[in-house]
A and B are shown apart, each in its own frame.
Chain A
């Protein structure tokens, strides 16, 4: 079972460039999430989608946009990358409510 798949795994961007991080889940989950993790820190929620067609801001949404393309896919876009967005990005999904969340392997992004 693939679970939650993120692409790419690694990316280097120049300041001001844009890119989209892709996430797909094959578990028919309703809710999907984007987190970032800075070195030595816990994860922080950027955006989430409770169900297909809805998205909401999390703790640190500035500088990001998201799209819930369909039930399977939830993408995160950086319109104009900044060095402060250097981080590891994790996508997650869960069925609904207080159920087990599944995380992807992460995308390591460096902005120079």
Chain B
């Protein structure tokens, strides 16, 4: 399965934008890029996903490099509630969607 590389931790300030990078140099043409986040003592929560084009939703934006070997999750205005572990995942479709989680990026938001 294709793997992703993320920084172990990042820190940002409340109400500022946050850019979370992800490298996936071995991505295949059919792999979707997913982002999930996990708050303390909770199950993962879907954030956003995309294939080739940049994507926006109410939570975040996903910027995908033209060669698809990297992507960036953008939180436009971080709040304290955005403090979580963020996982960049390449999904493998094998009848069902198999999400292969790495260790993720622990995001700390300073007030």
> Number of residues in A with C-beta < 8 Å to the partner?
32
Q: Is the CB of A56 within 8 A of B94?
A: yes
Contact of A103 among B44, B51, B98, B102 (CB under 8 A): B44
**Interface residue SS majority, chain B:** strand
Contact of A50 among B34, B42, B45, B95 (CB under 8 A): B95
When the two chains form their complex, are residues B44 and A90 in contact, meaning their CB atoms are under 8 A apart?
A: yes
A62 interface residue (CB < 8 Å to B): no
User: Which of B43, B95, B101 is close to A44, meaning CB atoms less than 8 Å apart?
Assistant: B101
Query: Are B95 and A43 in contact, with the CB atoms below 8 A?
Result: no
The size of the chain B interface, using a CB distance under 8 A, is 25
Per-residue interface assignment for chain A, residues 47 to 63, with 1 indicating a CB less than 8 Å from any chain B CB and 0 otherwise: 01111001010110000
Given known A90-B44, A103-B43, A106-B43, contact A43–B97 (CB-CB < 8 A): no
In-complex Cβ contact of B42 among A43, A92, A105 (8 A): A105
* Residues of the B chain whose Cβ atoms lie less than 8 Å from the Cβ of A54: 95
Mark A91-108 against chain B: 1 for CB-CB distance below 8 A, else 0: 010101111111111100
Distance between B54 CB and nearest chain A CB, rounded to angstroms:
16
Given the complex, which residues of B lie within 8 Å of A43, measured CB to CB?
A: 44, 99, 101
* 12 further contact pairs, Cβ within 8 A, besides A56-B96, A98-B93: A35-B101, A41-B103, A42-B104, A44-B101, A45-B98, A50-B95, A92-B44, A98-B97, A101-B99, A103-B45, A106-B41, A106-B42
Cβ contacts A to B, 11 pairs, < 8 Å? A33-B96, A48-B98, A50-B94, A54-B95, A90-B43, A97-B97, A98-B34, A99-B97, A101-B36, A101-B97, A105-B42
Binding site for A on B (CB under 8 A): 32, 34, 36, 41-46, 49, 51, 87, 91, 93-104
